[in-house]
Amino acid sequence: MSLLVKNVRLVDPAQKLDGPGALLVVDGKVLVIGAEAAAHPQAAGAEVVDGGGAVLAPGFVDLHVHFREPGQTRKESIESGSRAAVAGGFTSVCAMANTKPVNDSVAITEMMLTRAAKADLCRYFPIGTVSREMKGEELADMGTLKAAGCVAFSDDGLPITNSSLMRRALEYTRWLEVPVVAHEEDRDLAGKGYMHEGAVSASLGCLGIPAAAEEAMVARDIVLAEHTGGHLHLAHLSTKGSLRMVREAKARGLAVTCEVTPHHFALSDRELMKFDSDYKMNPPLRTEADIQAVLEALADGTVDAIATDHAPHGWDDKEVELPIAAFGVIGLETALPLTLELLVNRRVISLAKAISLLAWEPAKVFHLDRQGLGSLKPGAPADFVLFDPNANVQVDRAFIQSKSYNTPFKGWSLPGQVLGTWVGGKQVWG
């Protein structure tokens, strides 16, 4: 079975490709990409899709999603989360382990993979827990979990406060050649805070979470990464100080990578003046100075990936007083539009760099590039997205495919309509 997608702007940072051309897919894999694809003998008789000049890019890879299955499928299921992913152009997702029960066993990992295969939408990669039951006391059976399909390990949602345990995790995962993904938060410093600690929280009389709560843990874990040689991946960084430390760690050649989210380069803590819980997330929205630091880190290569931290919640989790509302926002459908509007259109980074941060770079962080993901090199799986960077989308309930609707971007009009998403040469959206 063959597919020819023609009349498109091909953008594949892994191949330094940005220009007009076509893509020829045979048996679910890329056969030819570029100007010569349409003239290839195997293009004769292929199904033809005319891209109408839209951008064709490798399918995006999200290193950080919460699909809530098992245990909280009223918020999201693997199927509904996968639908949200492909609607946003994501062909691969890495799902955090803080389900109910948590993913610390082969049985849970296999169940997740079975449900994802049944959904048959995007590629689904489970993340296993660092510690048994996410109690932070003893290591999970990482070797067995990796063999079952886990691509990284994290107690995300709960910081690993036990320094000895974090050290052992980095040592063990170095041998396994997978990263430890760290949710960096000193809970003693964070206390009962529910927004950024600063001038805004003081003016509102709200309990704050200081930047130091994140930065103190980042500092500790960079020290441990240097000591062990393990791969430390820092999730959803939000402060100027954290990004400075990552920049310095990389300059010293340490195996330290990091991600940022669109909401942390789109919104500041001033949004909490609305007392709207859709602006409540962890880490919290920070200051304008922190936003500027995130933008600079995206531009200079400090940041390895744009991830969504897609965290669905029901209306009853959010439509309560701000102090008791759940942390977290959804983000799969809005990641590309926000990246285009706030990064590309404002010339913070190029379109090619944006696609690299959404596809090629995250694939490398979790070693998914070894499976050919994140690029459209000949022989790679034909995972790609076709989008119009100039066509606007309206963020409303019809646009959001997630079961949940806890987005801070309700009502926004943004560029970047996903026209179609393909996984293994099969169209799964559009």
Q: Do both 395 and 313 map to the same domain?
A: no
Q: Do both 122 and 48 map to the same domain?
A: no
CA distance 329 to 280: 8
Q: Does 124 fall in a domain?
A: yes
Q: What is the DSSP letter of 322?
A: G
Q: Does 115 fall in a domain?
A: yes
* CATH at 50: 2.30.40.10
Q: Does 292 fall in a domain?
A: yes
Question: What is the model's pLDDT at position 249?
Answer: 98
Q: Do both 367 and 396 map to the same domain?
A: no
Question: Residue range 294-305: average pLDDT?
Answer: 98
How many separate domains does the chain show? 2
- For tokens 């690299």, name the residue: 356
Q: Do both 66 and 52 map to the same domain?
A: no
Q: Do both 42 and 63 map to the same domain?
A: no
Q: Does 44 fall in a domain?
A: yes
Q: What is the pLDDT of residues 77-131, one digit of tens each?
A: 999 999 999 999 999 999 999 999 999 999 999 999 999 999 999 999 999 999 9
Contact predicate 331/410, CB 8 Å: no
Q: Give the burial class of 280: count Cβ atoms within 10 A of its Cβ; 0-12 exposed, 13-18 middle, 19 or more buried.
A: buried
Q: Does 103 fall in a domain?
A: yes
Look up the domain containing 157 and give its range.
Answer: 59-371
* CATH at 280: 3.20.20.140
Q: Would you call the peptide bond into 101 cis, given omega within 30 degrees of 0 as the criterion?
A: yes
Q: What is the pLDDT of residues 401-419, one digit of tens each?
A: 999 999 999 999 999 999 9
Q: What is the pLDDT of residues 343-367, one digit of tens each?
A: 999 999 999 999 999 999 999 999 9
Q: Do both 298 and 349 map to the same domain?
A: yes
Q: Does 234 fall in a domain?
A: yes
Contact predicate 34/5, CB 8 Å: no
Residue 394 reports pLDDT greater than 90: yes
Contact predicate 53/62, CB 8 Å: no
Q: What is the pLDDT of residues 157-184, one digit of tens each?
A: 899 999 999 999 999 999 999 999 999 9
Q: Do both 199 and 320 map to the same domain?
A: yes
Question: What is the model's pLDDT at position 286?
Answer: 98
> Which of 104, 155, 309, 317 is an active site residue?
309
CA distance 312 to 280: 12
Q: What is the pLDDT of residues 134-151, one digit of tens each?
A: 999 999 999 999 999 999
Closest Cα partner for 145 from 183, 172, 184, 164? 172
Q: Strand 208-209 and strand 232-234: pairing?
A: unpaired
Percent of the residues in the chain that have a pLDDT greater than 90, as a whole number: 99
Question: What is the model's pLDDT at position 13?
Answer: 98
Q: Do both 253 and 104 map to the same domain?
A: yes
Question: What is the model's pLDDT at position 1?
Answer: 86
- For tokens 């609607």, name the residue: 87
Q: Last residue of a domain, which of 352, 371, 390? A: 371
316 is catalytic: no
Q: Do both 39 and 169 map to the same domain?
A: no
Q: Does 187 fall in a domain?
A: yes
Q: Does 376 fall in a domain?
A: no
Percent of the residues in the chain that have a pLDDT greater than 70, as a whole number: 100
Q: Do both 164 and 228 map to the same domain?
A: yes
Average pLDDT, the chain: 98
Q: Do both 281 and 327 map to the same domain?
A: yes
Question: Residue range 30-38: average pLDDT?
Answer: 95
Q: What is the pLDDT of residues 210-223, one digit of tens each?
A: 999 999 999 999 99
Distances (CA, A) of 262 to 78, 268, 340, 343, 357: 22, 12, 10, 10, 12
Q: Do both 91 and 49 map to the same domain?
A: no
Question: What is the model's pLDDT at position 222?
Answer: 98
Q: Would you call the peptide bond into 70 cis, given omega within 30 degrees of 0 as the criterion?
A: yes
Beta partners for residue 10, in sequence order: 19, 56
